[in-house]
Chain A
Amino acid sequence: MVQWTDFERATIKAIFAKIDSAVVGPAALSRCLVVYPWTQRYFGKFGNLFNADAIRSNPNVIAHGKVVLDGLARAVQNLDDIKATYAELSVLHSEKLQVDPDNFKLLADCVSIVVAAQLGKDFTPEVQAAFQKFLAVAVSALGKQYH
């Protein structure tokens, strides 16, 4: 089981209290689709993803971005059992969506960048380390049910 220090718990919860899923989610997802264009392969049904502006204003990207961040927020509510919390999601991503788990890390990196841009100086090296540890745990849990 993952061991969280008091600092890590407090930091992760504080970040999620500060950010708005409806803002960070779409920003992170659209950034991922721009920075790592091959991830667009999973969003064929989303419509116009032809350039950064189209991606940013695509209503499907915006809606889905929020879904993803809400999913991360659920993990924050269950820090001591993220694996169980994500079991169903992991099966969904593996069996139905068939997403290569390497992509989870790409999206996680984009979430880090978006949060960093928002928090600026407050996103200190220690805060970053705690946040990225959380993201790594979430990413790992999401890949657990693949076989």
Chain B
Amino acid sequence: MLSKKEKALIAEIWESLSPVAEDIGSDALLRMFASFPGTKTYFSHLDISPNSSHLRTHGKKIVLAIADGAKDISQLTVSLAPLQTLHAYQLRIDPTNFKLFSQCMLVTLACHLGEDFTPIAHAAMDKYLSAFAAVLAEKYR
């Protein structure tokens, strides 16, 4: 459950990170590929080497979707509808991987924000990313 304060905090953080969406997104993806090599199996069609344009474009896409959802968390099921369909019927990424990506995103945020990634911000962000992942997987079955 996210409180009003947490929702505001989450929206604020993603608003501030949107200008560097490419950096944040590609960083999180690289961390995921390094720590959880099985996740690379979903990207055989892309060049996911550090700094590749594929990686940066894809990372940016993901971060902007997360940032967009953060603007009105109560409407996640509506705003994510197209992405739900995409993931359920085309991409069919096993939802366990969403957890792995989320963990790496939290590490990216910690590296990027340092002390500013307080326990409270961390808790709020973890809850948001879990909710995001859950909504994303809703149409799977």
Contacts and interface: CB of A to CB of B under 8 A. Distances in A.
Q: Do A and B bind?
A: yes
Chain B, interface residues (CB within 8 Å), range: 20 to 34
B114 A120 contact: yes
Please classify the interface of chain B as helix (H, G, I), strand (E, B), loop, or mixed, using the class held by over half of its residues: helix
B107 A113 contact: yes
Nearest to A132: B35
Contacts, number: 59
B48 to A, nearest CB: 11
Contacts of A113: 106-107, 110, 117, 122
A129 B103 CA distance: 12
A125 B119 contact: no
Given A117-B111, A117-B113, A125 B122 contact: no
A47 B31 CA distance: 38
Contacts of B112: 120
A128 interface: yes
Contact of A109 (B27, B103, B118): B103
A116 B111 contact: yes
B30 interface: yes
Interface stretch (A28-36, A86-94, A96-104): A28-36
B117 A125 contact: no
* A contact patch SS: helix
A128 B123 CA distance: 20
Interface of B: 27, 30-31, 33-35, 103-104, 106-107, 110-115, 117-120, 122-123, 126
Interface of A: 30-31, 34-35, 52, 55-56, 109, 112-114, 116-121, 123, 125-126, 128-129, 132-133
